[in-house]
Amino acid sequence: MRLYAWGVAIAGWGLLLPLLDVTPPPPTSLLAIFLLLAVVTEWLMVPLPRGGFQSAGLAVSSAALVIMGPVHRAGDERRGRDRQRPPAPAALPQRGL
């Protein structure tokens, strides 16, 4: 599974990096706003009632993807997720048979 995830990430970067030359960059202020929002929303984790954590990072990522496009959003996304998130517990409780 880990090899698959790395393969997808490398393939995605391989497709997006050549597009950085031909895609105009977004305004620096917009990039800074989304970078700040991405970092803050990933830091503010809300504990869920049955265990686990949730953040508002998906909302910020979706908005940035629509406004800035996928090429420059990929770089912004990587910078905002440099820290390791705590592992999420299983969705359903494990019961012995």
Query: pLDDT band for position 8 (50/70/90)?
Result: very high
Question: CA 3 to CA 9: how far, in whole Å?
Answer: 10
Mean pLDDT on 10-37: 84
Residue 36 lies in a domain: yes
In angstroms, how far is the first alpha carbon of the chain from the final one? 27
Residue 38 lies in a domain: yes
The amino acid sitting at 37 is L
Q: How many domains does the chain fold into?
A: 1
Residue 18 lies in a domain: yes
What's the pLDDT score for residue 75?
A: 56
Residue 15 lies in a domain: yes
Range of the domain at 33: 2-80
Query: What's the token pair of residue 83?
Result: 């820290």
What proportion of the chain, given as a percentage, has pLDDT over 70? 71
Report yes or no: 20 and 71 within 8 Å, Cβ to Cβ. yes
What's the pLDDT score for residue 4?
A: 93
